[in-house]
């Protein structure tokens, strides 16, 4: 799950990032945390990236945290927005931006743990996850973090920003993931998340991390069409979210 921290206070961002790293490791969750000390840098990054969870300070900028949140909502109505700031006086403004929570600094660890758990409980439909058996441990991995899955004898290799070898058959994972329109088998033993596909050219599937896979030659037309339709659906969803804000 991608998380953004938008705060110009280096000490506060360091404390929050450390907490999230420790909490995600303790719960075997794949959190990718990006820190922005300038709200303008966050908005620039948001042109090409999306975050499931955004922690936002208010007293920064320009633009301020409230102004930044309003710009965020112009493009994304689903990201969970948590204001983390030094004063309660902007609470009404924050909730007009559809904030998930509003916490006053310095944050209490137990309160932050509860907020994170509440956020995860709120995300199931958008953030489905697999429970994989990796080295005799159950490791939850969000669908949105999976880039591709490769068959490996009696095992599967699941690639996020990390690499997991799990004792699950490819057919089992395929059955689970193909219920989600993001996932597509492009060749024998190769399943990709279309959100991470850069292009398909009839012979090769190029991923955004530059990994390449050969396409099934008999089905390359269907596979390319599936990518086109996926991108069209994504565009429709984005436009619909904008009209609902």
The per-residue pLDDT for 218 is: 92
Residue 241 clears pLDDT 70, i.e. is over it? no
| Burial class of residue 82 (count of CB atoms within 10 Å of its CB; 0-12, 13-18, 19+) | buried
C-alpha neighbours within 13 Å on the C-beta side of residue 110: 0
Q: By mean pLDDT, which of 7-21, 104-118, 128-142, 216-230 is the weakest?
A: 128-142
Tokens of 143: 């669908």
E strands of 23-181, at which residues?
32-36, 53-56, 80-85, 101-104, 129-134, 137-142, 148-152, 155-159, 163-166
**Residue 126 near residue 1, CB atoms below 8 Å:** no
Determine if the peptide bond prior to 218 is cis (ω within 30°).
Answer: no
Give the span between the Cα atoms of 169 and 176, in whole angstroms. Answer: 11
**Domains of the chain, each with CATH number or no CATH:** 2-122 (3.40.50.2300), 129-244 (2.40.50.1020)
198-212 per-position pLDDT tens digit: 999 979 999 999 999
Give the span between the Cα atoms of 139 and 142, in whole angstroms. Answer: 10
E strands of the chain, at which residues?
2-6, 32-36, 53-56, 80-85, 101-104, 129-134, 137-142, 148-152, 155-159, 163-166, 183-187, 190-193, 197-200, 204-207, 212-214
The average pLDDT across 75-84 equals 83
**Residue 97 near residue 4, CB atoms below 8 Å:** no
Statement: the pTM of the whole predicted model exceeds 0.75: no
Of 142 and 101, the one with more pLDDT: 101
The per-residue pLDDT for 240 is: 60
Residue 8 clears pLDDT 80, i.e. is over it? yes
- State in Å, rounded, how far the first CA of the chain is from the last one: 23
Reported confidence tier of residue 238, pLDDT bands at 50, 70, 90? low
The per-residue pLDDT for 144 is: 84
Reported confidence tier of residue 244, pLDDT bands at 50, 70, 90? very low
Average pLDDT of every residue of the chain: 86
């Amino acid at each position: 799950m991608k998380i953004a921290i938008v705060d110009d206070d280096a000490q506060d961002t360091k404390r929050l990032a450390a907490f999230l790293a420790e909490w995600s490791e303790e719960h075997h969750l794949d959190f990718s945390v990006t820190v922005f000390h300038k709200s303008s840098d966050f908005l620039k990054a948001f042109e090409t990236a999306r975050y499931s969870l955004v922690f936002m300070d208010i007293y920064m900028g320009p633009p301020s945290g409230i102004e930044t949140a309003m710009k965020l909502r112009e493009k994304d109505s689903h990201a969970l927005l948590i204001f983390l700031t030094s004063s309660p006086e902007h609470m009404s403004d924050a909730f007009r931006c559809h904030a998930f929570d509003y916490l006053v600094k310095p944050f209490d660890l137990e309160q932050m743990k509860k907020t994170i758990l509440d956020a995860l409980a709120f995300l199931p439909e958008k953030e489905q996850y697999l429970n994989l058996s990796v080295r005799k441990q159950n490791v939850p991995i969000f669908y949105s973090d999976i880039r591709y899955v490769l068959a490996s004898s009696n095992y599967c290799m699941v690639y996020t920003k990390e690499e997991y070898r799990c004792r699950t058959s490819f057919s089992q994972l395929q059955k689970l993931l193909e219920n989600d329109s993001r996932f597509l088998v492009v060749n024998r033993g190769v399943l990709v998340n279309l959100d991470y596909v850069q292009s398909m050219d009839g012979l090769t599937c190029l991923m955004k991390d530059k990994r390449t896979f050969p396409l099934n030659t008999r089905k390359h037309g269907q596979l390319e069409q599936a990518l086109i339709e996926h991108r069209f659906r994504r565009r429709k969803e984005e436009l619909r979210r904008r009209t609902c804000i």
